[in-house]
Amino acid sequence: MTTTIATYTGVYGMPEAGSAIDLAWLIPVVPAVSAAVLLLIGKRLGRYAAHVAILAIGFSAVASTIAFTELLALPEEARSVISPVATWLEVGDFEVAWSILIDPLAAVMLLLVTWVGLLIHVYSIGYMEGDERYSRFFAYLNLFAASMLVLVLGDSFLTLFVGWELVGLSSYLLIGFWFEKRAYATAAKKAFVVNRIGDVGFMIAMFLVFSATGSLAFAEVLPMAPEIASGTAVAIGLLLLVAAAGKSAQIPLFVWLPDAMAGPTPVSALIHAATMVTAGVYLVARVSPIYATVPGVGLTVAWIGVATALLAALIACTQNDIKKILAYSTVSQLGYMFIGVGLGAQVAGVFHLLTHGFFKALLFLAAGSVMHAMADETNPWKMGGLRKVMPITFATSLLGWLAIAGLPPFSGFFSKEEILVAALDPPGAQGIWVIGTIVAGLTAFYMSRWFFLIFLGPKRYEQELPGVHPHESPPSMTLPLVLLAVGSAAGGLLNATPASLLRFWDPETSFLSSFLAPSVVPYYGDTPFIPHVPAVAIVTAVAVAGVAAAWALYLREGVDHVALRERLGGFYQLSYQRFYVDELYEATLERGGRGLANAFTTFDRVVVDGAVNGIGRGVAGLATVGRRVQTGYVRSYALAVAAGTVLLAAIFLGGLLNGQG
């Protein structure tokens, strides 16, 4: 039985003048302006560049919070507000304007982006200290924040798309920030191009939406969603899935995220954990009315999500790079969010998005702090026993680890359970619940491996190595860690009912569900929790088992890892080599593309140009034939004259004869 809470009203009101919502267009503009300023005169600001950037993002954070409170004050059904700023494109019957849409979904995303962004800006002061392009880093961070805010506040597919591509640009700039190393530059290009492939899906979807509804603005398109022909709706849904897969690194297009670790760690934390990668999830949630009309497509989204989650989790178990492990973990957790939004449990998806934002950013920053202390060492096998040396990082990472492992009462448990519970009812989704549970176990395993190898266990690093002076990071780095740790721990309360932790899912009372209701269309409905207590128990048990397995393997002495690897043999290699996905793409797309390009280039040079020059040579050839007639001998000329005479005589005579005859 599916119960829908507050139905999707599709009513979009106007903000009253002067309110924070009305001035909401400043939220993205201020960081954009500050980015421009930093780019132009950043060098002269030196250290103060960071402060300018932090001020800008701080303003956006405060403004977002005020807007959030104002939105809360509004009555529940009037919470979708559009404030137009200026017309942008008006061509023939196609018309799009720059305007801001603030509704519960956008407000929640605003808070995540701005506050996590602020924390990471602060964190970057310490992390990026001494970098020769210090000011440019903060300029790019602000540019990213501005783009993400444009994406979140976009009121139409097109304005969202503008943010979508600008976010791709800023991630290109940030991944390739240390472009001196060719590998990092290639990673940046790879990210941009793979995003671009997703964007093509987005554009075609926009064409379909426009030709079906005559407009691209959400306010007009979403209420008309049920009227769109189902064939078109399916196409739009799938194409948007391609777009989301490109941006949120799902199965076919996830290859760029692990390479994106080439960027500085704060970038990985902000962009590749908390904000940008969640854009795909936000998009699917935002367009839920369209997905509601074709649940089948939602199921495909969910299956893509769970498949990605499983694949990424398997790969993460054997990686020997603390950032790569986190990267694959992000891909995996994004898979979870896709399950949520795919199965119509958008609230669960967004909830996991928020909690993931907290604990994944925390883990990345912790990894950054560890690398900062260990001269950018990323191999966990060269660390260990950092518990005593870096207490704050250890404590905060502990909370982060518990949250992501999905152990109660931390935030990860609540959000992951909600998603898995949502997978119980919809037809054909039970399989997803099973795989989801396995992935939960795997997640617990590799995250515990990550945590144990770095912080617990024997010291596996030499003291005297140059630059290796494990010590606690400066307060500017540890303060964000602590705040994020609080978020990871308490995040669960966002959607937990105050009544009792066990009955923690009561749609009416839990804060997030009721708050997000007006802007999403949950088509499979949120089933009450009670009948699923056993399911939740199983998942938690599997998670605990994962932790235990990691403990057994990595903390107990005398475990011969080398022998273990032989026994695992093929599986180990398969997972370690990332299922050879990169090599597959390399062989097919790159080599194929390059081959085709070469073929066309030679075709162009040989055939097309050949034809042109051929004509030239042809005419020249004709000339030489003509030349040969001039033999130079007077008698051959005489012969020609004679032949002419005979011809003329014949013609003349013929004329006379049949004239007379």
User: What residues between 617 and 656 interact with another protein by CB under 8 A?
Assistant: 627-636, 638-639, 642-643, 645-646, 649-650, 653, 656
Nearer to another protein, 570 or 626 (CB): 626
| CB 334 to another protein: min, Å | 22
Q: Is 658 near another protein (CB under 8 A)?
A: no
Determine if 585 is a binding residue for another protein (CB under 8 A).
Answer: no
**In angstroms, rounded to a whole number, what is the distance separating the alpha carbons of residues 360 and 353?**
10
* Of residues 391 and 618, the one with the C-beta less far from another protein: 618
Closer residue to another protein (CB): 48 or 652: 652
DSSP assignment of 608-623: IHHHHHHHHHHHHHHH
Looking only at residues 518 through 537 of this chain, which bind another protein when binding is defined by CB under 8 A? Answer: none
The span from the CA of 247 to the CA of 192, in Å, is 10
DSSP-derived letter for residue 261 is: G
Which of 320, 430, 509, 598 binds another protein (CB under 8 A)? It is: 598
| Contacts of another protein in 88-117 (CB under 8 A) | 88-94
Taking CB under 8 A as the binding criterion, the range among 12-20, 204-212, 332-340, 436-444 that sits at the site for another protein is 204-212
How far is 160 from 304, CA to CA, in rounded Å? 23
Rounded to a whole number of angstroms, the minimum distance from the CB of residue 158 to another protein is: 7
Among 110, 188, 243, 343, binds another protein (CB under 8 A): 188
What one-character-per-residue DSSP string does 325-361 give?
HHHHHHHHHHHHHHHHHHTT-HHHHHHHHHHHHHHHH
Q: How many CA atoms lie within 13 A of 173 on its CB side?
A: 18
Does 563 bind another protein (CB under 8 A)? Our answer is: no
The nearer residue to another protein, 28 or 480, going by C-beta atoms, is 28
- Least distance (Å) from another protein to the CB of residue 324? 22
**Should residue 224 be labelled a site residue for another protein when binding is judged by CB under 8 A?**
yes
283 and 382 Cβ atoms separated by less than 8 Å: no
| Residue of 272, 129, 247 lying closest to 197 (CA atoms) | 247
Using CB under 8 A, count the residues that bind another protein.
Answer: 81
Within residues 315-334, the interface with another protein by CB under 8 A covers none
Q: How far apart are CA 326 and CA 321, in angstroms?
A: 9
Rounded to the nearest whole angstrom, what is the least distance from the CB of residue 135 to another protein in the complex? 12
Which one of 16, 376, 586, 609 is in contact with another protein (CB under 8 A)? 609
Instruction: Choose which of 17, 18, 73, 211 interacts with another protein (CB under 8 A).
Output: 211
Q: Which of 23, 193, 553, 581 binds another protein (CB under 8 A)?
A: 193
Closer residue to another protein, CB minimum distance, 61 or 276: 276
Structure tokens at 112: 């995540």
Instruction: Give the residue among 296, 287, 289 at the shortest CA–CA distance from 231.
Output: 296
Confirm or reject binding of residue 162 to another protein (CB under 8 A): yes
Position 168, amino acid? G
Residues 27 to 86 in contact with another protein, rule: CB under 8 A: 39, 86
Q: Considering only 178-186, 303-311, 328-336, 376-384, which stretch makes contact with another protein by CB under 8 A?
A: 178-186
Smallest gap from residue 93 Cβ to another protein (A): 5
When the beta carbons of 499 and 597 are compared against another protein, the nearer one is 597
Residues numbered 228-247 forming contacts with another protein, rule: CB under 8 A? 228-229, 232
- Any idea which residue has 């939220």 for tokens? 27
Pairing of strands 94-102, 81-91: antiparallel
Q: Which of 214, 475, 498, 655 binds another protein (CB under 8 A)?
A: 214
Q: Which two tokens stand for residue 212?
A: 């079906």
Cβ–Cβ contacts within 10 Å for residue 471, how many? 9
185 lies in the site for another protein, by CB under 8 A: yes
The DSSP code sequence of 38-68 is HHHHHHHHTTHHHHHHHHHHHHHHHHHHHHH
Give the separation between CA 353 and CA 112, rounded to whole angstroms. 9
182 touches another protein (CB under 8 A): yes
At 316 the three-state DSSP class reads helix
For another protein, the closer of residues 131 and 472 by Cβ is 131
Q: Which is nearer to another protein, 548 or 639 (CB)?
A: 639
C-beta of 626: minimal distance to another protein in Å? 8
Nearest approach, Cβ of 219 to another protein (angstroms)? Answer: 17
413 contacts 375 by C-beta, under 8 angstroms: no
Which residue, 434 or 653, has its beta carbon nearer to another protein?
653
User: 457: which 2 tokens?
Assistant: 């266990």
d(CA 236, CA 251): 19
Answer for which of 24, 208, 325, 366 binds another protein (CB under 8 A) is 208
For every residue of 62-102, which 3-state class applies, written as one string?
Answer: HHHHHHHHHHHHCCHHHCCEEEEEEEEEEECCEEEEEEEEE
| Burial class for 458, CB neighbours closer than 10 Å (0-12, 13-18, 19+) | exposed
Work out which of 48, 571, 579, 600 binds another protein, going by CB under 8 A.
600
Among residues 533 and 638, whose Cβ is nearest to another protein? 638
Taking the least distance from each CB to another protein, the nearer of 498 and 595 is 595
Q: Which residues are within 8 A (CB) of 112 and not within 5 positions of it... i.e. 6 or more apart?
A: 274, 275, 278, 353, 354, 357
Residues 2, 69, 87, 509: which binds another protein (CB under 8 A)? 87
Cβ-based nearer residue to another protein, 16 or 590: 590
